[in-house]
A and B are shown apart, each in its own frame.
Chain A
Amino acid sequence: MIAGWGNLAVPGRERLSEQLERASAEAVLCRGLGRSYGDSSLPPAGHPEVLGTRLADRIVAFDQESGRIRAEAGLSLFELNRLFLRRGWFVPVTPGTQFVTLGGMVAADVHGKNHHVEGCFGSDHVLGLKMRLASGELVECGPEREPELFTATCGGMGLLGHVLEVEFELRRIPSPWIASESRRIGGIDQFLEALKDASARYPYVVGWIDCLSRGPSMGRGILDAGRWATAEEAAGRALPTTRRLTFPMMLPSWALGRPSVRAFNTAYYWKHAQQLRRGLRHPDSFFYPLDMILHWNRMYGRRGFTQYQCVIPAAAGAEGVRRFLELLSSKGGASFLAVIKDCGAESRGILSFPLPGISIALDIAVRDDTQALVDTLNEALITMGGRIYLAKDAFTRAAHFRAMEPRLERFLAARARFDPARRIRSAQSVRLLGDRP
């Protein structure tokens, strides 16, 4: 059996290889560190083996002057940070976990807390990709070279071809510390205002809101903003190594019922005692708070969980966000804090997720009614012109996906050109695009 981060398993296995060039010729799909929540890294039923890339992790070239780096697709962001953060370099875009591979970051065209200024990792920052196409051909593509292949690959969830190498530029950072500011905010309207305000002042902004509170405190939460600390602010303080705990076992499913989640959310909100807190923070705690506990996904038990992440377009306004939260709490989507972000401009990646507006992401433990809940949320989303994030999805129906993706035709045209037989496919593409299992 093999599963994504949400622990929803299907029959299958991962075959690891250090040599992607050799191993990719026959592969039906690549899988990095399996941090996508749903079924995007899972094999179709008819070909139950995916190519595990995480051992293919060599740095091919690094230029100390420009920060330009080329590496094999299985290199993890954790490793990159371990090697380069203390040397004064950082990736231009990071997702909320560092246990991802470069290949996975390109395939999902990941966004970070700085989306409003830097866009997505793949389409806005990658300079070149070496790929193995379904035909067996090896090609090099980038923003200028084979742009159709490139833009379909960034955000294309591994379906256009296997990424073997990724080239991009690391950024110089003035110190390895983050100067951050976090605020407690009492309700959704103020929250959206504060997001806007912080986004104008800081490159990194994200919020956590409590989806269980209702009435005037609906959408209360904590807003976190930050930037790299200057050398003077950091004053030469060395960055300590982070110690991590491991979640030891699967919890029983009842453990995460509404009462315990409500208690957690309330505690999280009030733990933030002052209204405003400023200071230097370790980048691990600022960017990757969830990575502190390895295997935290076991908390959701054997039935697993899914993440619902969508973007509500700016046009739907604060009203749209409020309606969405009301719908959520009326349907009882009991969740720990939801992550809320302000997204910037749409990227070139044909299926890249972000869109100007508000992104909301929440974890949902799988129950009998999860499909119905996701359907309801998707229907509301479609009327607002929003879309979901494929890297998190496990439940969206093909018809709903078509309705929220006017860009799908363009993506399918690119796929028809590079893989007419749709040989490269995943459990997700079977579900959403009707590929043969």
Chain B
Amino acid sequence: MRVTILGGTHGMGRALARRLAERGDQVFLLGIEPEELARSAADLQARSPTQAAVGAALCDLADPSTFAPALAAAAAALGEIECVIVTAAIFATQEAMEADVTRAEALLRLDFTNTVVFCEHARGLLLGRGGGTLCVFSSVAGDRGRKPVILYGAAKAGLSAYLEGLDHKFHAQGLRVVCVKPGFVKTGMTAGLRPPPFAGEPEAVARQVARAIDRGTPVVYTPGIWRWVMLAIRWLPRFVMRKIGF
């Protein structure tokens, strides 16, 4: 498979890029820091069974003008793109964003508006070649409005809704949309937070997501138990949600 990944330098994206490179997929990285991209490319190359060189191009989720050239660079390097993965996003605590609305605005723009815009470019590219897979990391935080993640959750809820719509409309044309909803996963993004029960590891997430990409599974909760946790949370009555801190 020929795949390009935005966010493959760190966290779950890193683990997923490794898994794909290790099984022989051709990977092209997109991201913001040239040094980080170069280091991750070298890491993936050492892991690839054929020692295939891994290319990279700059792409800043904060700057939509970078999207088209980045995807074009990926397509040129890979020959064609069969799969686009987006793990890039930012996180900030609800308190930090309530205290500073500019931070809220930045997060909403990156994690919702610009992510959707990037996906629109990717969609065009994939449909143009007759289909392919678009795998995007949303979050369980988008499944219900909750006190600790109101703004982040709102952005992810919007993203999940967008991905679901894409699937409905373009499935028949060969577009496979995979919406990944991680629960709490131990990555750099959550390094300052205390891990709750059922916290996952990036490698396990990567295993599950790679399988979902192969099968075209539309929605993936990871670790899997979060499907049931969120099912329970969605059923909690409003008066309970007002009381609890979760």
| A contacts, CB < 8 Å to B | 15-19, 55, 58-62, 64, 69, 83, 87
Contacts and interface: CB of A to CB of B under 8 A. Distances in A.
B47 interface: yes
Contact of A17 (B14, B43, B191): B191
Nearest to B43: A58
A85 to B, nearest CB: 13
Contacts of A17: 188, 191
Given A15-B192, A18-B11, A83-B22, A55 B42 contact: no
A69 B46 CA distance: 9
25 contacts: A15-B191, A16-B186, A16-B188, A16-B191, A17-B191, A18-B10, A18-B11, A19-B188, A55-B187, A55-B188, A55-B191, A58-B39, A58-B40, A58-B43, A59-B42, A59-B43, A59-B46, A60-B43, A61-B42, A61-B46, A64-B51, A83-B22, A83-B46, A83-B47, A87-B49
Interface residues of B, number: 18
Contacts of B191: 15-17, 55
A275 to B, nearest CB: 43
A185 to B, nearest CB: 41
A60 B46 CA distance: 8
**Which of B11, B14, B22, B188: most chain A CB closer than 10 A?**
B188
A16 B188 CA distance: 7
B10 to A, nearest CB: 5
Contacts of A62: 45-46
A211 to B, nearest CB: 37
A18 B188 CA distance: 6
A371 B117 CA distance: 64
A266 to B, nearest CB: 39
Interface of B: 10-11, 14, 22, 39-40, 42-43, 45-47, 49, 51, 186-188, 191-192
Contacts of A18: 10-11, 14, 187-188
B76 to A, nearest CB: 26
A18 B13 CA distance: 13
B11 to A, nearest CB: 7
A424 to B, nearest CB: 21
Q: Which 8 A-B pairs have the closest CB atoms?
A: A62-B46, A58-B43, A59-B46, A16-B191, A18-B188, A59-B43, A18-B10, A58-B39
B49 to A, nearest CB: 8
B90 to A, nearest CB: 15
A87 B22 CA distance: 12
Contact of A58 (B42, B49, B188): B42
A55 B189 CA distance: 12
A58 B41 CA distance: 10
Nearest to A86: B49
A75 to B, nearest CB: 9
Nearest to B194: A13
Contacts of B39: 58, 60
**Which of A15, A17, A18, A87: most chain B CB closer than 10 A?**
A18
Nearest to A82: B22
Nearest to B11: A18
A61 B38 CA distance: 11
A18 to B, nearest CB: 5
A18 B15 CA distance: 12
A61 B42 CA distance: 6
Nearest to B203: A79
Nearest to B38: A60
**Which of B39, B40, B46, B49: most chain A CB closer than 10 A?**
B46
B62 to A, nearest CB: 19
Contacts of A69: 46
Contacts of B14: 18, 58
A60 B188 contact: no
Nearest to A63: B46
Given A18-B188, A69-B46, 8 more contacts: A16-B188, A16-B191, A17-B188, A55-B188, A58-B14, A58-B43, A60-B42, A83-B47
